[in-house]
Amino acid sequence: MPVQAGATIDPRATRARVLDAAARLFYDRSLAAVGMREIATASNASQLTIYRYFESKEGLAAAVARERSDRIHAWLLQSLAPLDPGPTRVLALFDLLTRWFAEQGFRGCAVINYAADSRGGLSAHEVTRGHLARYRDLLERLLIEAGVPEPVPLARQLLLLIEGATVVTQIDGDGAAGADARRAAETLLASSLAKGQ
């Protein structure tokens, strides 16, 4: 799209607009259902500009997924930071996710959706693995702070609860899976702490 005479071009702002438009469209309708022309129109950028920044639709989708992962983990860290270390802080993670699941328009985790939409492409596996690894790292830190004697296996189990609840909520749409996952996490956490005494 032509730039108006006298207007300055801010590459960072253009890139951010493209990412925001693509993120919204991919999340609402899926990667396969959205074309580059539609993203160009929604972001007020030319397709040539989009390809210059991201090289391909897959490159754009990977950038969207990375940005979403960054946002999710920054939100979790910021929300958990004021809480004292311990079991309550571990379970607060599940409370945050349950509130997220209850938001209007919740359609699952954009990063996991990207992996499904991409049919397991190399970039999708890399981005999604990184996202899940960040969850495991966060869970391990929270569990160590809570005094869990074997945090690594419990972190994996809690991640299964998180991702399972996310997918079930996306499909069922009623949000009960988040509360169920929290109760299961509470049981696993109590059991692990009891073994360490």
pLDDT tens-place string over residues 129-155? 999 999 999 999 999 999 999 999 999
Residue whose pair of structure tokens reads 């499904």 in the numeric block: 116
Please give the pLDDT value at position 139: 98
State pTM to two decimals.
Answer: 0.87
Instruction: Name the residue ranges covered by the structural domains of the chain.
Output: 1-54, 58-195
In 3D space, the residue among 78, 108, 86 whose CA is nearest the CA of residue 186 turns out to be 86
Please give the pLDDT value at position 115: 87
Residue type, 50: I
Contact 18, 55 (CB under 8 A): no
Q: Measured between alpha carbons, how far is 32 from 118 in angstroms, rounded to an integer? A: 8
Superfamily of chain region 1-54: Homeodomain-like (1.10.10.60)
Q: Measured between alpha carbons, how far is 177 from 22 in angstroms, rounded to an integer? A: 28
Contact 63, 52 (CB under 8 A): no
Q: pLDDT higher for 8 or 32? A: 32
CATH numeric code, 58-195 = 1.10.357.10
